[in-house]
């Protein structure tokens, strides 16, 4: 009985406690609910005044959706609109819309100090439009330091941006971007940030909530750790990762000077998992301050461990003092300027062996220098791109390939297709002292990088040029091979490519195969229909020798030639010039030592020979029914000391039998003098071309 | 007084005679050398040619003598000395009819020494030395008889040059 009473007593006390707690909780919840409801009612009725206050504070009209209070310390504003006005385009960027804005404030500070201090901000799907790039560089870092310092003061603030949409308000540009990031700025001025950026195609500008999955292919992840100093930011760590690319940087940004050191790794074996995955602060901190990636140093990887950058910013200008690194034991340097405002202008140089003289540099087999200078306006580039590279034949003097563009447009899409268009391009090639150039109009280039194919078409000297090729760079085999077709091009306009074209008039059609890598050669055929030759040294010499003026400017029905060029030789074969009074067939070749090997057959018509008193006597050597008198000869030896041989023929033998010895000798001397004169004129011609 | 005059006349006569002797020495040297060469005494012939070159470097006979000195060095396999001699010959007598033969000697020496750079340079120089025109003949010949009485012949074709010495093949260069 006593026990029963004891049990009853204990149980009833327990029941009382539970009742008290339960009632307290209910009362508390009721109070919380009542409080929440009251605050929400208050917010509902104060909606307009809150809207006006915010508009006044921001100095621009703001439209707010529902404002909700969640107990104990969260305020959420839905559908925040910043209507675009005409003044907006004068700004560098604008925030157009925020789907949901949530703020968490410190209850204790509100209660004790009557101060509304915000500790966390969540921005869901904000939409930002960037009108000009230069806002990033138009102010020095001090403005950012001051703004962040005033924001933080004596508290820590966290800003969480989810699915932000960033649009660049320009046609045919990259974007839009989808941005997820967390920023944590502590009262000790340290900054932590991590997140990812996705680059989309430039088609849809609507909120991409449902489309983010399609864009994950172009996903960049980043993390940042640093702290704010008096006049800048100390960057303890920046990491950037995308699939096969990893970049780690550290340094500082002071006033307007950015100094960074870093490492880069490019290749197929970078294992994922570092910046992506768990998105909480602890996991990300661990990843940042420990080595996040395990990657094998295989031959597929490019690793650079000594990246060193010094960049200065001024109003509208970026000066790259140096971005240097070493790869494959060769030092490289990028330097130059990029002007952003009022127009975008670039002047950059990238070279190997930057610390030695230019002459010494181009004694190295890996020497190269790339120059880019020009204007970028309305998404078009007008300027020049040049490449100087080591010439294995002439040490210390580089060969040069250059291109000058007028209105070059470039696009690159997610399917790895590159398109290029330029209204006018001047391509030049310089080797030793010889220059070659060609001008193309309406150049169209298309390349599918995955299939390694390239197609090109252009207008060239009143005709057309088509090129199809293969670009293949693998570790085992590198190959650059093109098929070229040319149609109805005015031959004499191609004198810039090869000076001898300047003497040939007519419409040229040609087809050729050209290989640049592994070793250079070009071979093909060309034909010129219904044209003429004017002021070609060879025909001038023939005209002088035979005293036939018509030979200075022979017309032809067709001139056909096969050609072959490589680093060691130049050959013209199957030469066939066909006209009413002149026939020319044969071949002519010259090698890298300037040694000539040539056999030519020159046929002159009866009618032509009859025109000259010097050659009229030769007609009696022509039998009846023969319309052409042929001279077959061979040239051999050095270009500047060619030997000449009249090849065996009936006509030659008959003439030899007829001529006395003394006249034979005199005739030979005359030909010798004429050949020397031809050589002299050819040398003068080459000198003037150079 | 008379004695004085006689002494002066005698002294002048002696001087003139010595001049006469000295002016005739290079021809004498040369003739003697040629005779030695004819007789097969090549060493004595060389000594005379060498002496002539050193003593009378500007003499008209110096050209042939210098070539002969080079020939001798080559024949006794003193290739370094032969090389130096023919190099001097080529520079001193660029228009000599024997220059082409001197170049071929230098080429042979370079081939013996396996000096590829020199071989290439000399071949180029030989091939550029003369431009030939062949209208009614397939070749042209140029002959030279040295002081050592060796008969040199250079035969030029459209694409090569052949050298024979005493009708024996010595060397050739082609394109």
In this predicted structure, what is the pLDDT of residue A580?
87
CA distance A508 to chain B (A): 34
Q: Is the predicted pLDDT of residue B11 greater than 60, yes or no?
A: no
pLDDT band (50, 70, 90) for residue B30? very high
Contact A640 B175 (CB under 8 A): no
Q: Is the predicted pLDDT of residue A178 greater than 90, yes or no?
A: no
**Residue A398 near residue A374 (C-beta atoms within 8 A):** no
Residue given tokens 């404030």 in the structure block: A105
Nearest to A642 among B124, B131, B138 (CB): B131
pLDDT band (50, 70, 90) for residue A208? very low
Q: What is the mean pLDDT of residues B133-152?
A: 92
Contact B135 A671 (CB under 8 A): yes
Please list every residue in chain B whose beta carbon sits closer than 8 Å to the beta carbon of residue A646: 134-136
> What does the DSSP assignment read for A515-573?
EEESS-EEEEEEEEEEEEE-S-HHHHHHHHHHT-GGGGS-EEEEEEEEEEEESSEEEEE
- Report d(CA A82, CA A63) in Å as an integer: 6
CA distance B17 to chain A (A): 50
From A554, A538, A545, A469, select the one nearest A506 (Cα to Cα): A554
CA distance B137 to chain A (A): 8
Please list every residue in chain B whose beta carbon sits closer than 8 Å to the beta carbon of residue A641: 127-131
Mean pLDDT, chain A, whole residue set: 80
Please list every residue in chain B whose beta carbon sits closer than 8 Å to the beta carbon of residue A637: 127-128, 131, 159, 175
As a whole number of Å, the CA-based R_g of chain A is: 40
Contact B133 A643 (CB under 8 A): yes
A505 vs A476, higher pLDDT: A505
CA distance A600 to chain B (A): 14
Contact A638 B138 (CB under 8 A): no
Question: Nearest-CA residue of chain A relative to B161?
Answer: A637
Please list every residue in chain A whose beta carbon sits closer than 8 Å to the beta carbon of residue B130: 641
Contact B132 A667 (CB under 8 A): no
Size of interface A-B (CB pairs under 8 A): 60
Q: Is the predicted pLDDT of residue A604 greater than 60, yes or no?
A: yes
Nearest to A595 among B136, B156, B175 (CB): B175
| Percent of the residues in chain A that have a pLDDT greater than 90, as a whole number | 23
Nearest to B136 among A641, A664, A679 (CB): A664
Convert the pLDDT of each residue in A324-351 to its tens digit: 999 888 899 999 999 886 778 999 999 9
**Residue A651 near residue A633 (C-beta atoms within 8 A):** no
User: To probe the interface with A, which of B133, B155, B156 has the most A CB atoms within 10 Å?
Assistant: B133
Interface predicted TM-score (ipTM)? 0.77
In this predicted structure, what is the pLDDT of residue A207?
45
Q: What is the mean pLDDT of residues B132-158?
A: 92
The angle, 0 to 180 degrees and rounded to 10, between the axes of the packed helices B99-112 and B79-92 is 150
- Report d(CA A195, CA A181) in Å as an integer: 4
Which residues are registered as beta bridge partners of A310?
A: A259, A322
Q: What is the mean pLDDT of residues B16-28?
A: 59
CB neighbours (10 Å) of residue A334? 16
Q: What is the mean pLDDT of residues A166-190?
A: 77
Q: Is the predicted pLDDT of residue A278 greater than 50, yes or no?
A: no
Tokens standing for residue A635: 């040239």
Q: Is the predicted pLDDT of residue A377 greater than 90, yes or no?
A: no
Q: Is the predicted pLDDT of residue A39 greater than 90, yes or no?
A: no
Cβ-Cβ contacts under 8 Å for B23 (sequence gap 6 or more): none
What are the Cα distances from residue A47, in Å, to A50, A53, A64, A188, B48?
5, 10, 8, 36, 127
Nearest to A675 among B124, B131, B138 (CB): B131
Backbone φ, ψ for residue A461 (5° rounding):
45, 55
The sheet with strand B160-165 has its strands ordered as B140-145, B151-156, B160-165, B168-174
Contact A597 B175 (CB under 8 A): yes
Convert the pLDDT of each residue in A407-420 to its tens digit: 888 887 767 788 88
Nearest to B133 among A593, A640, A644 (CB): A644
- Report d(CA A555, CA A532) in Å as an integer: 4
CB neighbours (10 Å) of residue A650? 12
Q: What is the mean pLDDT of residues A32-55?
A: 86
Q: What is the mean pLDDT of residues B96-120?
A: 95
**Residue B123 near residue B46 (C-beta atoms within 8 A):** no
User: To probe the interface with B, which of A599, A637, A682 has the most B CB atoms within 10 Å?
Assistant: A637
Q: In A, what residues contact B, Cβ < 8 A?
A: 593, 595, 597, 634, 636-638, 640-646, 652, 655-656, 659, 664, 667-668, 671-672, 675-676, 679
A179 vs B71, higher pLDDT: B71
Spacing of C-alpha A470 from chain mean position: 18
Apex A21 CA angle, A17 and A25, nearest 5: 170
Convert the pLDDT of each residue in B55-90 to its tens digit: 999 999 999 999 999 999 999 999 999 999 999 999
For the CA atoms of B128, B132, B137, B142, the dihedral, rounded to the nearest 10 degrees, stands at -70
CA distance B133 to chain A (A): 5
Please list every residue in chain B whose beta carbon sits closer than 8 Å to the beta carbon of residue A661: none
Please list every residue in chain A whose beta carbon sits closer than 8 Å to the beta carbon of residue B135: 646, 652, 664, 667-668, 671
In this predicted structure, what is the pLDDT of residue A86?
52
Q: Is A426 helix (H, G, I), strand (E, B) or coil?
A: strand
In this predicted structure, what is the pLDDT of residue B20?
41
Q: What is the mean pLDDT of residues A659-663?
A: 73
In this predicted structure, what is the pLDDT of residue A202?
42
A654 vs A103, higher pLDDT: A103
Is the peptide bond between B135 and the residue preceding it cis, with omega within 30 degrees of 0? no
Q: Is A111 helix (H, G, I), strand (E, B) or coil?
A: helix
A614 vs B56, higher pLDDT: B56
- Report d(CA B66, CA A360) in Å as an integer: 44
Please list every residue in chain A whose beta carbon sits closer than 8 Å to the beta carbon of residue B138: 645
Lowest mean pLDDT among A124-128, A199-203, A236-240, B6-10: A199-203
CA distance A685 to chain B (A): 20
Q: How many helices (H) and strands (E) does chain A have?
A: 11, 31
Q: Is the predicted pLDDT of residue A34 greater than 60, yes or no?
A: yes
Contact B131 A672 (CB under 8 A): yes
Q: Is B89 left (phi over 0), alpha (psi -120 to 50) or beta?
A: alpha
Q: Which burial class, exposed, middle or buried, applies to A55 when counting CB atoms under 10 A from its CB (0-12, 13-18, 19+)?
A: middle
Q: Is the predicted pLDDT of residue A475 greater than 60, yes or no?
A: no
In this predicted structure, what is the pLDDT of residue A169?
67
Q: What is the mean pLDDT of residues A245-267?
A: 89
Question: Nearest-CA residue of chain A relative to B120?
Answer: A593
Please list every residue in chain B whose beta carbon sits closer than 8 Å to the beta carbon of residue A671: 133, 135
């Amino acid at each position: 009985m006593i026990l029963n009473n004891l049990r009853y007593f204990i149980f009833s006390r327990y029941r009382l406690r539970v009742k008290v707690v339960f009632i307290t909780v209910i009362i508390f919840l009721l109070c919380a609910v009542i409080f929440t409801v009251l605050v929400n009612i208050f917010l509902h009725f104060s909606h307009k005044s809150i809207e006006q206050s915010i508009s006044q504070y921001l100095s621009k009209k703001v439209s707010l959706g529902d404002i909700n209070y969640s107990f104990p310390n969260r305020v959420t504003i839905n559908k925040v609109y910043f209507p675009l006005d005409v003044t907006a385009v004068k700004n560098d960027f604008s925030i157009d819309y925020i789907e949901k804005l949530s703020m968490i404030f410190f209850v204790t500070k509100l209660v004790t100090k009557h101060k509304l201090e915000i500790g966390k901000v969540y921005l869901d799907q904000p939409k930002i439009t960037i009108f000009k790039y230069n806002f990033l560089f138009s102010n020095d870092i001090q403005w950012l330091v001051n703004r962040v310092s005033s924001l933080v003061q004596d508290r820590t603030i966290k800003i969480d941006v989810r699915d932000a949409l960033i649009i660049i308000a320009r046609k045919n540009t990259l974007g839009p971007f989808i941005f997820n990031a967390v920023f944590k700025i502590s009262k000790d001025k340290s900054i932590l940030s991590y997140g990812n950026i996705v680059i989309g195609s430039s088609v849809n500008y609507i909120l991409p909530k449902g489309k983010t999955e399609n864009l994950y292919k172009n996903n960049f992840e980043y993390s940042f750790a640093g702290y704010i100093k008096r006049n800048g930011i100390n960057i303890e760590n920046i990491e950037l990762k995308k699939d096969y690319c990893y970049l780690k940087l550290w340094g500082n940004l002071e006033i307007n000077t950015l100094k960074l050191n870093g490492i880069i790794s490019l290749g197929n074996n970078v294992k994922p998992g570092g910046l992506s995955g768990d998105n909480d602060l602890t996991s990300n901190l661990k990843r940042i301050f420990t080595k996040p990636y395990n990657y094998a140093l295989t031959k597929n990887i490019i690793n650079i461990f000594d990246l060193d950058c010094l960049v200065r910013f001024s109003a509208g200008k970026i000066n790259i003092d140096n971005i240097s690194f070493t790869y494959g034991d060769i030092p490289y340097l990028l330097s130059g300027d990029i002007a952003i405002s009022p127009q975008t202008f670039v002047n950059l140089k990238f070279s190997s062996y930057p610390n030695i003289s230019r002459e010494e540099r181009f004694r190295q087999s890996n020497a190269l220098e790339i120059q880019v200078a020009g204007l970028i306006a309305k998404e078009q580039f007008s300027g020049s791109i040049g490449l100087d590279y080591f010439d294995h034949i002439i040490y210390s003097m580089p060969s040069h390939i250059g291109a000058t563009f007028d209105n070059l447009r470039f696009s690159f899409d997610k399917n790895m297709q590159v398109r290029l268009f330029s209204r006018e391009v001047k391509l030049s090639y310089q080797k030793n002292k010889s220059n070659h150039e060609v001008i193309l109009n309406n150049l169209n280039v298309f390349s599918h990088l995955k299939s390694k194919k390239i197609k090109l078409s252009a207008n060239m000297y009143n005709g057309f040029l088509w090129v199809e090729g293969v670009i293949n760079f693998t570790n085992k085999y590198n190959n650059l091979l093109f098929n070229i077709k040319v149609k109805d091009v005015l031959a004499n306009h191609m004198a810039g490519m090869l000076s001898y074209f300047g003497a040939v008039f007519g419409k040229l059609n040609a087809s050729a195969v050209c290989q640049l890598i592994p070793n250079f050669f070009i071979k093909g055929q060309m034909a010129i229909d219904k044209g003429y030759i004017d002021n070609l040294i060879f025909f001038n010499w023939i005209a002088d020798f035979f005293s036939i003026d018509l030979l200075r400017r022979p017309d032809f029905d067709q001139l056909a030639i096969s050609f072959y060029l490589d680093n060691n030789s130049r050959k013209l074969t199957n030469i066939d010039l066909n006209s009413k009074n002149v026939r020319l067939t044969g071949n002519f070749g010259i090698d890298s030592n300037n040694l000539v090997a040539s056999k030519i057959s020159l046929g002159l018509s009866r009618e032509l020979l009859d025109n000259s008193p010097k050659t009229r006597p030769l007609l009696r050597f022509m039998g009846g029914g023969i319309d052409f008198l042929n001279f077959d000869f061979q040239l051999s030896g050095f270009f500047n000391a060619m030997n000449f041989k009249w090849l065996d023929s009936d006509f030659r033998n008959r003439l030899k039998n007829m001529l006395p010895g003394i006249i034979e000798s005199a005739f030979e001397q005359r030909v010798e003098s004429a050949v020397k004169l031809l050589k002299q004129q050819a040398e003068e011609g080459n000198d003037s071309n150079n | 007084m008379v004695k004085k005059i006689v002494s002066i006349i005698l002294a002048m006569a002696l001087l003139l005679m010595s001049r006469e002797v000295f002016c005739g020495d290079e021809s004498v040297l040369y003739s003697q050398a040629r005779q030695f060469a004819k007789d097969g005494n090549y060493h004595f012939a060389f000594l005379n040619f060498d002496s002539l070159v050193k003593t009378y470097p500007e003499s008209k006979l110096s050209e042939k003598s210098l070539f002969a000195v080079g020939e001798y060095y080559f024949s006794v396999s003193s290739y370094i000395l032969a090389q130096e001699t023919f190099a001097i010959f080529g520079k001193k007598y660029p228009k000599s009819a024997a220059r082409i033969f001197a170049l071929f000697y230098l080429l042979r020496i370079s081939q013996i020494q396996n000096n590829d750079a020199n071989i290439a340079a000399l071949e180029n120089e030989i091939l550029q030395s003369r431009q030939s025109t062949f209208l009614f003949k397939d070749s042209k010949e140029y002959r030279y008889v040295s002081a050592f009485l060796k008969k040199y012949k250079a035969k030029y074709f459209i694409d090569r040059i052949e050298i024979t010495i005493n009708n024996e093949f010595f060397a050739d260069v082609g394109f």
